Structure 1
C-alpha cells in the first residue's frame, strides 16, 4: 500500500478514530464476514417480494375525491341518487368539413359509432343523428357519449377503441375519442427514462471513481433495493392505496438516494484503504462514519415525507408511505448489502481502471505540503474573504429565482394540455370549437329535495345569468325523488383561472342569494380539482412547518448545534422556493416549456408542490449532513471554524458534486417520459438539487458559517469542545489562498 505523506500522518494523529465497538461497527463487521449469507438473503428476499408484489400487488387508485369538500359531498349525493350516471364514459368528437349529413361522411360516422357500440366494454350509444342537441347549428361538429360498461375497465381495453377512431378519420372527417380513460389509454408507458438515468449515473460514477468495479457497486446495490422496495410498495397498496404516478416517483427518488448513499460509503471505504487499513477495517470505518450519516440522512428524508400526512389526503398518505418504504430499503441495503459486496471485492475496488499517465498521489507528492490545496479549498477561501458579500449575492439570487412562485396556480392536467397528436387533445379542440371551451369543464349542481315538486328553476336561472356561464341544462330529479341535479357549462376552459373564480363566485355570492340555493352543491371533475387545489394551498404551510421542525430536531441530534440546524432550514427553504419559481416559469409561464416537453402553458399540478417540498427538504438535509459532519470532525480536531469549513468542503466537494450530478441526471430523465405531472416534479427536483449543490453548498454555507464563527456550534448547556492540535501555522497554511 502507498505510504501516507507526513502531513497526512500528522492530521491522522490528531483525529479521533471511529468507534469499532458500536452497533454500526458490529453490523458492518458481521455483514463483511458473513457476506455470502447476507447476499443470499438479499437475493432470495428480493425475488420472493418481487414475485408477490408485482404478481399480486394492489392496482393504483387515482380517485382523488373524498374528504369534506363541497365537490366531494356533491359526488356522494350523485352516487347515492343517480347511480346510473356513475362510471367512466368516453366522448366521441366529430368534425366533418362538408357537414355530418354528407353521405360519405355519414356512412363513415355511423360505421364508427356502430363499431364502438359493439365493443364488449361499452354501453348503449346515442347517435348524433338521433338527438339534435348533440350537433352544432351548422351541423359540422357533433358529439356523443359512450358509457363504459364496467367501472373497473382497464386502459388496455380502451386503447383499441382509441385506435379504431383514429384510423377512421380521413377524407374530410375528423374523429377523436376523449375522456379520462381515453387519455390514460393513449399515454405511453414511462419508457426508457429510468434506464437513461441509470446509464447517466454509471457515467458519473466512473468519472468520480475511475474504476468499473467501484462504479458498479452503488448501482447494483441501489437496483436490488429499488426492486424490493417497489414490490413492497405494491403489497402495501392493499392497505394504503396510492395513485399510478407513485411507482415512477418512488423509483426516481429511490434510484437517486440509493446510488448516493452507496456512493458516500464506497468513497469512505476507498479513503480508508488508501490510508492503510485492510478491507475489513475499511468497511467498518466506512459504515461507522459514512454509514451513520446515511442513516441520519435517510431518516431525515423519511421524516420529511411523513410530513405529507398532515395534508389529510388519502392518496397522498399512500404516496408518502410508499416513497418512504423505498428510501428505507435503500438505507438498509447501504449498511448491510454494500458491506457484503465490499467483502467480496476487498482490495480490488479500484480494478478495471482506465490507464492514467500520472496518478493524483504522484502529482500531490510533487507539490510542497503547504501548497496542497484543492480547488474547493481555494474557493472556500475566496468566499471566506468576503462572506457578507457572498451571502447577500447568494440569497438575492435565490430570492429572484423564487419570485415566479408568487403567481403559482394549481390544477390537474386535462386534455387541453396533452401533446397535439393525442386523440384526447383533438377531441378537446373539436368540442371547444363547436360547443365552447367550457364544454370540457362542466359544473355539476346537486341538491337533496323533499319532493318531486321542488322547483329548482330560480336556482337554474340565477346560475345561467351569472357572468361566465355559457348555458345550463334543465334540472332532473332522481328516480327516488330525493335529489335533483343540473349542469352548467362555463365560457372558459378547465385550466383557466377565470373558471376557478367562477366556482367561488357561484358558491359565495350567486347561490346564497337564491331561495334554496344554500343547499345546492357544486361538483364535477372541474370543481373537484379546484377544491383539491384550495385544500392543498391551505394545508401546505402546516406541512412545511411540521417538516422543518422534525428535520431540525434530527439535525440538532446529529451535529449538536442549534445554529447549524437553523442555517440549514433557512437555506433549504430558499433553495426550494427558487425551485418552485423555476417550475412556475417553465410550466405556467412557458419559458423553454416546449423544449422541455411541455406542449403548452398550464398550471402546476396540484400534488407537485406538496410532494416536492418534503422530498427536496430531506435531500437538502442529506447534503447538509454529509458536509457538516465532515466540518464538525475538523472543528472538534482544530477548534478553527475557518479551517474546518475549508477542509470539510475540500473533503466532501467531489463526492457531493458526484451525488448531486447523479440526482440531477435521474430527475432530469423524467422529462423523457409522457406524464406531465411527473415531468413537473422531476424538473423541480433537478433544479433544486443543482441549486443546493452549487449556490447553497459552495457559497451560502461557507459564507454564513464564516460570519457566525464560533456561534456555529452553539448548543444550550454544552461546553465548548476540546481542541487538540496540529500546529496552528500548518493548519492556516492549508487553507490560505
Structure 2
C-alpha cells in the first residue's frame, strides 16, 4: 500500500532503521557523548549571571556611573541585624554580639567592620536594635564560602539576643540546593507510565531516554552560558521542562510502537512506523516549543535571552534522543516491551478501520458526543469558566523576591524583620542616586533636600564625590519595603517630578536593587505583548503547515491563550492574593516574580501546541478516512485520550514537585504550569475542542487556495506521517 511505503521510506524511516539495527553503536555514542558533555559542562560551565540590569533604564544608567567612578563600591555586603531584649549594652548581650562580630571579621571573605558600639547611628534610640554592614572582598564568592558566616550567626542567635545575617550573598548561601523534587517527579512519572502501559519495561524506556537527554541538555546549557550568560534558575527550569517533554515525547513513540506490535508488525517495522508517525509529530512539537522559547529573545533582555537559549538546548536534546536513542532502546527490547506486566483485564483496542457503530464506544467518544449535542452551550460555559479563572491576572504585580518573602526560619528573613522593626522597612532596599558633576564644589544640596522632604523618604545620606571628581552618589531610604506598590510609586514620583525640578538640566539617576527590580518589571510588562505576538505568529505558521487548516490553527491559538491566561489568574490568586498560598509552600503573600509570566508563556504555548498536534493530527486522519467532522472528533479523542491524559498527568506531576523545592520563584512557575496543563487537558481538550470543531463543521478544514472540492484530502499519506499516536 502507498501508506506503508510512506511509513518505511524517507529520512526519518532510514534514521529509525539505522538506530534500530545499529543499536549498540547508537547507545555507545550517546553514553560517551553525555559523559563527555557532562564532564565539560558541570566541570567547566559558565557561572550563573543573575544581574537583571542592562538596557537604557534609569537604574542601568545609575549602575554604569557607579561602576565607572566608584569602583570601590562594587563589592557585595552583608547586614548583621541585632535585637537584644535587655538592650545591646547588657553584659551578656554585649559578649554575644562582640563574639559574633569578631568571627565575621576573622573570615578571609570580609573587610573591616564598624561595630555598633563605635557608631551610634547603627543603634536605635532605645538601644535594643542595632545593625552593622560587613563588606565582602569577593563579590563572586561561592555560596559554600559564605555559608559558615550564616551558620555562625544562626548558632549565636537565641535566648535574649536575636541575630540575623542578610544580604544577597547570605540569601544565596542559605538557600538549600534542590532536594528530592526532581527525583519525586521521576517517581511520579514512573507510576503514571506503569499504570498507562501496564509494563515495567515499557515504563522504563521513556524515563531512561528522558534522563539521559536531560543530563546532556543541562550540561550543554552550562557550556552555552559562556556565550550567552544565564541566571541560576535556568538549570531548574531546563530540568523541569526537559523532564516533562522528554518523558512525554518518548511516551507517544512507545505507545505507537506498542500499537504496531499489537497489529502484527515486526519490531523493526514497528519502530520505523513509530518514528515516522509519532516521531514526526514529536519533532514538530519540539520545534514548536523551541521556537516559543526563543520568542523570549524578543524581550530584548540579556538575562531572559540566556534562559531562552539554555532551555531550548535541553528541549533540542530531548527531541534528538526521542528519534535516535529511543529506537535503539526499542531494538534491545523488541517484543519484550510488555514484559513484567501489571495484571489487568484484557481489553480490545479499537481497530483503525472500525467505526463507532461496530464496536463498543469508549468513554472519550461518549463524552465527545455529549459535548457535540450542545456545542454552543459547552463552548460558552468553558469559555466563561476560563475567563473567570483569568480575571485575577488583571491585578498581577511583578517584582523580584527579596528577604521579606523568604521562609521565616532563615537568617536573612530574621535580619529583614529586625532591621525593618528598628530602622524601617525601606532600610533593606535603599534607593541609590548617581549623577555626573563638573567639579567637587558642585552644590547638590537642592537635590538632597528635595529628595529628603519627599513624602515616603525616611532618610537621606550625605553625597559622596568620586575620586576623579566627575560623579556623585547618595542613598535614600524609603518608608516602605521592597515589595510594596508604594515604593514603586515613590520611584516614579522622584524620576518624573522631584528630580527634574531640583536638578534642573543635570541628570540624576535613581538606581540600586530596588529601582532595578522596578525597571525590570516595567520593561518586561511593556515587551511582553511583542513576545506573545512573535510566538503566536511563528507557531501558527508551523501548525498551518502541519494540519493544512487555517481555522484549526486559529482555534488552537485562541484556546491556548485562554488556558494560559487562566493559569496566570490562578497563580495570582494563590501567590499574590494568598488564597491557599501557605498550603502550596509560599511563606507569605508576594508579587509574581518578574520573569515567571514571560517564561511561562512560551513554555505553555509550546506545550499546548504539543497536545494540539497529537489530537488534531489524529482527528485529521479520521476526517480524511470518513469525511465527517463529528465522527472524526469523537474517534480522534478516543484514540488519543489515554495517552494525552497520561502525558498531562506526567507534566502535572513533574511541575508540582517544584513546590517541594526552596526557591519561591521556581515554585511559582511550577505551580502555574501545572495548573495550565490541567486546564488544557480538561477544559480545553475535553470541552472546547469538540464543541468549537462541531460548531465550525467543514469550515474546520478551510485553507486559502483550496477549493470546496478539495476540503477533504484524497490522500492519507500526509496525515499518517503526522499522526502522533
Q: Secondary structure at the match of 1:514?
A: helix
Report the Cα distance in structure 1 between the residues aligned to 2:357 and 2:383, rounded to whole angstroms. Answer: 35
2:719 — aligned with what? none
**CA distance in 2 between partners of 1:475 and 1:701 (Å):** 63
Instruction: Specify the alignment match of 2:63 in structure 1.
Output: 75
Gaps of 5+ in 2: 717-725
1:340–1:349 Cα change, 3 Å: same
For residue 136 of structure 2, the aligned residue among 119, 137, 148 is 148
- Which residue of 1 is the match for residue 46 of structure 2? 58
Aligned residue number for residue 170 of structure 1: 158
Alignment of 1:519-534 (within 5 A): 519-534=507-522
Equivalent position of 1:678 in the other structure? 666
* 1:52/1:235 contact within 8 Å kept: yes
Q: Give the secondary-structure state (helix, strand or coil) at the position aligned to 1:623.
A: helix
Counterpart of 2:435 in 1: which secondary structure?
Answer: strand
Q: Is the contact made by 1:250 and 1:322 (CA closer than 8 Å) also made in structure 2? A: yes
* Structure 2 counterpart SS, 1:373: coil
Shift in alpha-carbon separation, 1:715–1:698, aligned structure 2, 3 A:
same
The answer on whether the counterparts of 2:400 and 2:593 sit within 8 Å (CA) in structure 1 is yes
Summarize the Cα distance change of 1:368–1:681 in structure 2 as closer, same or farther, 3 Å threshold: closer
State whether residues 18 and 285 of structure 1, in contact with CA within 8 Å, keep that contact through their aligned partners in structure 2: no
> Aligned match of 2:248 in 260, 269, 274?
260
Does the CA contact (< 8 Å) of 1:478 and 1:484 recur in 2?
Answer: yes
Contact (CA 8 Å) 2:154, 2:163: kept in 1 or not?
A: yes
Give the secondary-structure state (helix, strand or coil) at the position aligned to 1:90.
strand
Matches within 5 A, 1:326-405: 326-356=314-344, 358-361=345-348, 370-405=358-393
Q: What residue is the counterpart of 1:8 in the other structure? A: none
Structure 1 SS opposite 2:151: helix
Instruction: State the secondary structure of the residue aligned to 2:117.
Output: coil
SS in 2 for 1:531: helix
TM-score, normalisation: structure 1: 0.95
For 2:632 and 2:320, how far apart are their aligned partners in 1? 31
Q: How many residues align?
A: 711
Report the counterpart of residue 215 of structure 2 in structure 1: 227
Separation of aligned partners in 1, 2:361 and 2:455: 69
Q: Deviations over 1:30-55 (max 9, x none)?
A: 11111111111111111111111111
Whether 1:691 aligns to 2:679 is yes
CA distance in 1: counterparts of 2:504 and 2:349, whole angstroms: 87
In the alignment, the residues of structure 1 paired with residue 83 and residue 341 of structure 2 have an alpha-carbon distance, to the nearest angstrom, of: 63
Please give the secondary structure, in 2, of the residue aligned with 1:94. strand
Runs of 4+, deviation exceeding 2 Å? 13-19, 361-364, 367-371, 515-518, 721-726
Matches within 5 A, 1:216-295: 216-295=204-283
TM-score by length of 2: 0.96
Aligned counterparts, 1:562-641, within 5 A: 562-641=550-629
The structure 2 residue matched to 1:434, chosen from 422, 425, 439, is: 422
Q: Is there any run of 5+ residues in structure 1 with no aligned partner, and where? A: 1-12, 727-737
Question: What is the CA deviation profile of residues 381-428 of structure 1, one whole-angstrom value per residue up to 9, with x for unaligned ones?
Answer: 000000000000110000000000000000011000111110000000
Deviations 1:649-679 (A, max 9, x none): 1000000000000000000000000000000
Q: In structure 1, what is the equivalent of residue 721 of structure 2?
A: none
Q: Which residue of 2 aligns with 1:10?
A: none
Is contact 1:636-1:721 (8 Å) kept?
no
Give me the whole-angstrom Cα distance separating, in 1, the residues matched to 2:408 and 2:178: 18
Q: CA RMSD in A?
A: 1.7
Does the CA-based 8 Å contact 2:702-2:711 persist in structure 1?
Answer: no
C-alpha displacement of 1:562: 0.4
Residue 21 of structure 1, CA deviation? 1.0
Q: 1:724 to 1:565 in 2, by over 3 A?
A: closer
- Cα distance, 1:106 vs. partner? 1.1
Instruction: State the distance in 2 between where 1:327 and 1:363 align.
Output: 33
Cα-to-partner distance string for 1:177-212 (whole Å, 9 max, x where unaligned): 000000110111110000000000000000000000
**Alpha carbons 2:198, 2:343 under 8 Å: kept:** no
Q: Distance in 2 between matches of 1:625 and 1:723?
A: 18
Deviation at 1:725, TM superposition (A): 12
Check conservation: 1:441, 1:526, Cα contact below 8 A: yes
Deviation, 1:516, is: 3.4
Are 1:127 and 2:137 an aligned pair?
no
How many angstroms does 1:361 deviate by? 2.5
Residue 543 of structure 1 corresponds to 531
**8 Å contact 1:14–1:725 — kept in the other structure?**
no
- Distance across 2 between alignment mates of 1:599 and 1:663: 25
CA-CA distance at 1:234 after TM superposition? 1.1
- Counterpart of 1:735 in structure 2 is none
Q: Distance in 2 between matches of 1:150 and 1:240?
A: 23
CA distance in 1, matches of 2:491, 2:688: 44
Structure 1 CA distance, aligned partners of 2:504 and 2:636?
A: 69
Shift of 1:18: 4.5
3-state SS in 2 of match to 1:153: coil
- What is the match of residue 714 of structure 1? 702
Alignment of 1:106-117 (within 5 A): 106-117=94-105
Superposition deviation, residue 67 in structure 1:
1.4
SS of the residue aligned with 2:133? strand
Name the CA distance, whole Å, in 2 between partners of 1:140 and 1:583. Answer: 40
Match of 1:473 among 452, 456, 461: 461
Q: 1: CA distance between counterparts of 2:372 and 2:116?
A: 74
Give the whole-Å Cα distance in 1 for the aligned partners of 2:2 and 2:170.
67
